[in-house]
Structure 1
Amino acid sequence: MDTSGIPMRLRIFKITFAPLLTIVFHGCISVGPDYEAPTVELQSKWQADLPGMHVSELDPQWIARFWQKTEDPALNELVHEAVKNNRTLMQAADRLVAARANRGLAYAAFFPTIDANGAITDQQSRVQTDHTPTTSTDLAKALLERNESGKPITSRKETRTGSLDASWEIDLFGGNRRALEAAEADLQSAHEAYRDALTSLVAEVALNYISLRTYERRLEISENNLKIQQSSLDLALYRVQAGLSDGLDEEQARLNIETTNSQIPTLKAGIAQTRFTLAALLGLQPEAFSKKTLELLAAKTRPRLPDRLVIDTPADAIRRRPDIRRAERKLAAETARIGVRKSDLYPKLTLPGTLSYTTTGSTDTSIASIGLRLSWNIFDAGAIRRRVDIQKATKSEAFHAYEQTLLSALSEINVALVAYTQEEERRLALGRAAAHAEKAAMLTRLKYQTGLVAFSDVLTAEQTMLSRQNELAISEGESISNFIRLYRVLGGGWQSYAPEERAR
């Protein structure tokens, strides 16, 4: 093709900028690796033995509000209040708002920036001629610069200027697109962080509530046993007064009573401390519960285990856990940032433009300009490549963190399954033992009344009964706590609450 008639400036433009414009208008490239979600081979079943559990697909509503299966209205109210007022959850929601705004910043990079400037200048000048005119020209100027009164003349000039400066960086090599991709993944990660905080909050409220009811149950057991031990003391006093036994029985009876009395302050302290913890989880000062909450707590309802438990497969549980989903989104964000760093290795094309207008007296001046600016960091002693290497290492760290989160989750679920099933067996055995201990204590007292056994046998039987009843109360609380822990590690508790629901 003959180009002899084409101006040199146009030929330079075609050689330099035409290929860049072709990239702009026919599709830019995105440097850096494209993200692919990691694939992990999971076992098809849980390693823990699951007696009494049914493995099938979980009902979404069941797992979403699993604590409601305990059929305890006080627990339901506490969870509802905590979701509205917990400060840690509010912090997670604030971080979600910040992540959403950060994504908006990344999206704004695709658009031009326009700056407006304006100014008004009022300039005044005074002309004073003090020297004696030496020529006719100087005399004429002096006459013009003086008015009739002989005073200096003041001149005034007003200048008005306005301008619009625009700049638009063309995303030639996908740096902005990768930044937006990373910001979107960060936003999704913040969503999962909120859900993880929500799941932990629900579990913490439930566990502390169960602990409260367990302390109350143990206090009730101790107070009931005190009544039984008091009746044994009365019986011992009667036999001493009747001359059927010596004072040893009385002293042993009083020892038994005081031993039980010594346990009560610890139980009352546990009740108070747990209530303080619950108040903090609900975003309240100690004992600042609402009237409704106080009424429900005073009712002393006790949560119970559901008749039947259902779990699903490892793959389903892993997909549901927000901490794993958060780690995967973090990996996606760090992968995209490799492209952001790599884009600094390539040229940057910017379209600058200016529109200005100036008015001075009767003179108006307007200027409009637009052009192309190409910038390229040709030498930086390898700094950009080192930043790329740093980001690759960060991405690798995120991948290993994802793997560790996955492995920890599988371990937590299997541990929770074992803890639940084994504690259930222990609870059933303790229930039978407590029933036998209560019956044995009653029979021993009857035999003591007839003089068939010593009072030490009564003490042993009563202490055994109190011990077994205490152990049963603790085991019952632990079984329900293990139920809460199990469905927390299975990823339940967040599905029914959105971040916006916190403020309702």
Structure 2
Amino acid sequence: MNALQRTNMKRQLNRTSLSNRKAGVASLLTALLLSGCAVGPDYRAPHADVPAQWSGGKSAPGTNGAQAAERPDLRQWWVHLSDPLLDTLIEEAVSGNLDVATAAARVREARAVVRQAGGALYPSLNGTAAFTRSGAGSHAVTTTSSSAGGSTSVLGVGSPANLFQAGFDASWEIDIFGGNRRSLEAAQGGLDAAQWDLRSTLLTLVGDVATHYVEARGYQARLALARATADSQQETARLTRIRFVAGSNSGLDAANASGEAQSTLATIPALEAAYAQSVHSLAVLLGRAPGALLASMEHVQDVPAPPLPVMLGVPADVLLARPDVRAAERRYAQSTARVGQAEAARYPRVTLTGTLSTSGTQFGDLARHSSIGWSIGPAVTIPLFDAGRLKAAVEIADAQRDQSFIAYRSAVLTALQDVENASVSLSRETERVQNLKRSADAYGDAAAMAQSLYRSGSTGFLEVLTAERSLYAAQDTLIQSRVLIATDFIALNKALGGGWDGTEAN
């Protein structure tokens, strides 16, 4: 083998070795990416220990076990109250309520956090450009050396110089231990929780609007009853005064009749104040001034009567329908991902960086090959000593994860309690209203008989006074019971997870 052949063989071996080294680096990077695992605990949805059926074994009165097991239809449950004005107010509240607007803004914020966290998984690229013009003073001194060992100083005029610079900087953190992926998981969990929080806010809003509306109608009904009763009692007082003047009865009857009428009149201002407060609260829920609904609510309507019975389904259905439970579960997922994020910070970080730069005294020189410089290579950051700070961060994240799990369990128990309480209240109040209705009817008959006997002189005025007082109390209590039935119906639908299921601005 001659010298030329040996030289060519060495060159070939060097090229092969360089290619092998490049392939080895590429294989190493690929292996790191493919084998990279996210440290920390992987999320598993928690198992909620819920009973197979509700404690009563049934839903509202009149249902059997088979009906109770049916999943309730919670879509726009408030339309079953058959009140078009209430439907309109709820739609207006969804679009104008300030709490809903705040919750929707939090959803937009969470979406941006997800995009921000996802961007960390990709390389970043920055471009730079600069122009500098520099020069010496107008009397610059230039010193030159001669071959004879002497030096000469020349006084002249300095010439300005231009410098153009451009370049790119790129970096990419190779997510070997999954810190960035865990960050993205946490951000996604936060977004899910924010979306469920929005639905929870809507659920609360719909229930509050319906409740305040029903209460306002209840105060209207009680005001109408109080005014009608007061008018009747004032007429009775007038007649007793006439009879007293005529000597047909004593002054005691006239005084009792007048006092009873004034007592009923005294309840009217308190009812008017309570009615106004309910309407004010209703207007604020719609995002309007407190007095904005007084005119539209002026026309008196009956207290909405809900359709009964209400199907409850099984307890497990509530966990799927209740947005507060779903939000708590998503926050548990978020806190689990943050444990892995904190754990990954304890491991080395590998970053691939690269630069490309060019410079020249003229703009056209930037594209010349001789003016271009570049560099590329990995950088490793290894945490060696931090006095336990990173370990403490993992412990903090783990404790926060435990808190999120406890909050989830608490949300489950609260949801079950809400359904049980609302169901029992509705069931018992439905039974109570039947007794109150019979009581009011009986007192009505008693009042009519007492009036008839009093006019015929067969009984005294005290019997009339007692009968009318009992009738007014029974009728007023009956109205309040009907309000409670409607509010219990609303509370039960809220507890089951029934809320706004239309379009929401988020």
TM over 0.5: yes
CA deviation map 1:428-467 (0-9, x unaligned): 1111111111111111011110111111111111110110
Farther off after superposition, 23-32 or 370-379: 23-32
Which residue identity does 2:54 align to in structure 1? W
2:160 alignment partner, one of 156, 168, 186: 156
Corresponding residue for residue 23 of structure 1: 31
Which residue identity does 1:97 align to in structure 2? R
Corresponding residue for residue 348 of structure 2: 347
SS in 1 for 2:469: helix
Aligned length, in residue pairs? 482
Equivalent-residue separation in structure 2 for 1:211 and 1:10 (angstroms): 84
Residue 165 of structure 1 pairs with residue 158 of structure 2 = no
Corresponding residue for residue 184 of structure 2: 180
Shift of 1:308: 3.6
2:100 alignment partner, one of 89, 95, 103: 89
Corresponding residue for residue 71 of structure 1: 82
Shift of 1:288: 2.2
SS in 1 for 2:135: strand
Instruction: Tell me how large the CA RMSD over aligned residues is.
Output: 2.8
Structure 1: runs of 5 or more not aligned: 146-151
Corresponding residue for residue 250 of structure 2: 246
Instruction: Say whether the 8 Å CA contact 1:52–1:309 is kept in structure 2.
Output: no
Corresponding residue for residue 477 of structure 2: 471
Which residue identity does 1:106 align to in structure 2? A
Instruction: Say whether the 8 Å CA contact 2:43–2:333 is kept in structure 1.
Output: yes
Farther off after superposition, 464-473 or 310-319: 310-319
Corresponding residue for residue 413 of structure 1: 419
- Overall identity of the aligned pairs, in %: 34
SS in 2 for 1:472: helix
Equivalent-residue separation in structure 1 for 2:415 and 2:474 (angstroms): 35
Instruction: Say whether the 8 Å CA contact 2:133–2:163 is kept in structure 1.
Output: yes
Corresponding residue for residue 3 of structure 2: none
Farther off after superposition, 361-370 or 337-346: 361-370
Corresponding residue for residue 436 of structure 2: 430
CA deviation map 1:258-313 (0-9, x unaligned): 00010000011011111111111110112224xxx944652535311114422211
SS in 2 for 1:41: coil
Instruction: Say whether the 8 Å CA contact 1:235–1:449 is kept in structure 2.
Output: no
Corresponding residue for residue 262 of structure 1: 266
Shift of 1:13: 7.4
Shift of 1:379: 2.1
Equivalent-residue separation in structure 2 for 1:326 and 1:494 (angstroms): 16
CA deviation map 1:125-161 (0-9, x unaligned): 235279999999999874xx6xxxxxx5241111111
Corresponding residue for residue 4 of structure 2: none
Shift of 1:499: 3.7
Farther off after superposition, 40-49 or 127-136: 127-136
Which residue identity does 1:39 align to in structure 2? H
Which residue identity does 1:44 align to in structure 2? A
Is the alpha carbon distance of 1:129 and 1:190 closer, same or farther for their aligned partners in structure 2, counting shifts above 3 Å?
closer
Corresponding residue for residue 41 of structure 1: 49
SS in 1 for 2:311: strand
Which residue identity does 1:119 align to in structure 2? A
Residue 281 of structure 1 pairs with residue 285 of structure 2 = yes
Which residue identity does 1:57 align to in structure 2? E
Shift of 1:246: 1.5
SS in 2 for 1:298: coil
SS in 2 for 1:224: helix
Farther off after superposition, 419-428 or 222-231: 222-231
Which residue identity does 1:214 align to in structure 2? G
Equivalent-residue separation in structure 2 for 1:126 and 1:328 (angstroms): 72
| Counterpart mapping for 1:7-22 below 5 A | 20-22=28-30
Instruction: Say whether the 8 Å CA contact 1:72–1:302 is kept in structure 2.
Output: no
Structure 2: runs of 5 or more not aligned: 1-12
Equivalent-residue separation in structure 2 for 1:303 and 1:427 (angstroms): 14
| Counterpart mapping for 1:460-499 below 5 A | 460-499=466-505
| Counterpart mapping for 1:133-148 below 5 A | 142=154
1:101 alignment partner, one of 94, 108, 112: 112
Corresponding residue for residue 321 of structure 2: 320
Length-normalised TM-score, structure 2: 0.89
Corresponding residue for residue 307 of structure 2: 306
Instruction: Say whether the 8 Å CA contact 1:232–1:445 is kept in structure 2.
Output: no
Equivalent-residue separation in structure 1 for 2:390 and 2:143 (angstroms): 71
Corresponding residue for residue 70 of structure 2: 57
Shift of 1:363: 6.0
Equivalent-residue separation in structure 2 for 1:199 and 1:465 (angstroms): 39
Is the alpha carbon distance of 1:11 and 1:162 closer, same or farther for their aligned partners in structure 2, counting shifts above 3 Å?
closer
CA deviation map 1:220-242 (0-9, x unaligned): 00111112212322331232233
Equivalent-residue separation in structure 2 for 1:135 and 1:343 (angstroms): 65
Is the alpha carbon distance of 1:107 and 1:42 closer, same or farther for their aligned partners in structure 2, counting shifts above 3 Å?
same
Residue 205 of structure 1 pairs with residue 209 of structure 2 = yes
Equivalent-residue separation in structure 2 for 1:161 and 1:184 (angstroms): 41
Instruction: Say whether the 8 Å CA contact 2:303–2:482 is kept in structure 1.
Output: no
Corresponding residue for residue 220 of structure 1: 224
Shift of 1:358: 0.5
Is the alpha carbon distance of 1:133 and 1:98 closer, same or farther for their aligned partners in structure 2, counting shifts above 3 Å?
closer
Instruction: Say whether the 8 Å CA contact 1:73–1:296 is kept in structure 2.
Output: no
Farther off after superposition, 226-235 or 315-324: 226-235
Shift of 1:419: 0.7
